[in-house]
Amino acid sequence: MAHEIRTIGIIGAGQMGSGIAHVCALAGFDIMVNDVSEDRIRSSLATISGNMARQAASEKITESDRSDALGRIAATPDMDGLAACDLIIESATEKEPVKREIFAALKPIVKADAILASNTSSLSITRLAAETNAPERFIGIHFMNPVPVMELVEVIRGIATDQETFDAAREFVARLGKTIVVAEDFPGFIVNRILLPMINEAIYTLHEGVGTVDAIDTAMRLGAHHPMGPLQLADFIGLDTCLSIMQVLYEGLADSKYRPCPLLVKYVEAGWLGRKAGRGFYDYGGEQPVPTR
């Protein structure tokens, strides 16, 4: 029988952490949200409440569902508040040193049978697991953004992940109503191994003057029937996250085809990180996004 999960700790109250807390609370789990910033936790709880209100208004959930779910979410600025959690999901920035530091800090806190998971979109599950007391109870659970909308979750075993942890992770994701794909522990897993090189190539296409931002995005929306253009999608993901994933692919697979486009590097160095920064391949300062090149 798989490890029973009732209480979930979520480390990181950004867009992904908020989305994970949202779907887990609606599925009936008790949630503890942790972040280094108390303001970010407050903002996360407000975002979750607002998103659930929109779901209730569109009759995707009931007002009772919303009220019950919000009642299951609590804040814990101190990591010690995660001590009773059955599953802890790290959803911090996509930087390995940051994630390793988090898992090292959890060592004296987590209970003996707790499962630890990372929402990393590209980093080695095996390496992250080695930072914990029990690599056999560590797994990758990669949600897609935005979490309440996207149906897919990638589940990734590290080399040490045991069968009980794997079964518990699959049961947990199924309870959320998500579709599971199992990926091997290779850089980028499945989705980002395919998606990010496409985005990077679109940026090269812009960098080399083959087309403008509008031309490239229109071509892929109408010519390949993508729901949004690759440059618009890059802005939505965050250009810093795109760069981090491309660097993981480039370094981990040692193939020049994964080299991050210099224009992507420049945008990140300039702080033009996409929607969250108000500027990326589009300027978000007005009523409608405007291409910047």
Tell me the catalytic residues: 121, 142, 154, 192
14: left (phi over 0), alpha (psi -120 to 50) or beta: beta
Instruction: Enter the tokens of residue 87.
Output: 């599953």
Here the tokens at position 275 are 């929607």
Structure tokens at 101: 């530091």
| Bond from prior residue into 97 cis (ω within 30 degrees of 0) | no
If we measure between CA atoms, which residue out of 291, 281, 5, 283 comes closest to residue 141?
A: 5
H or E element that contains 30: strand 30-34
Nearest to 211 by CA among 233, 193, 229, 189: 229
| Strand-strand pairing, 73-75 and 30-34 | parallel
Q: How far apart are CA 236 and CA 228, in angstroms?
A: 10
DSSP SS3 for 279: strand
Task: Write out the two tokens for 88.
Answer: 């802890």
Planar angle of CA 92, 190, 209, nearest 5 degrees: 85
Separation between Cα atoms, residue 19 and residue 6, nearest integer Å: 18
Query: What are the Cα distances from residue 91, in Å, to 126, 140, 207?
Result: 17, 11, 32
Q: Which residue has the tokens 């010519």?
A: 223
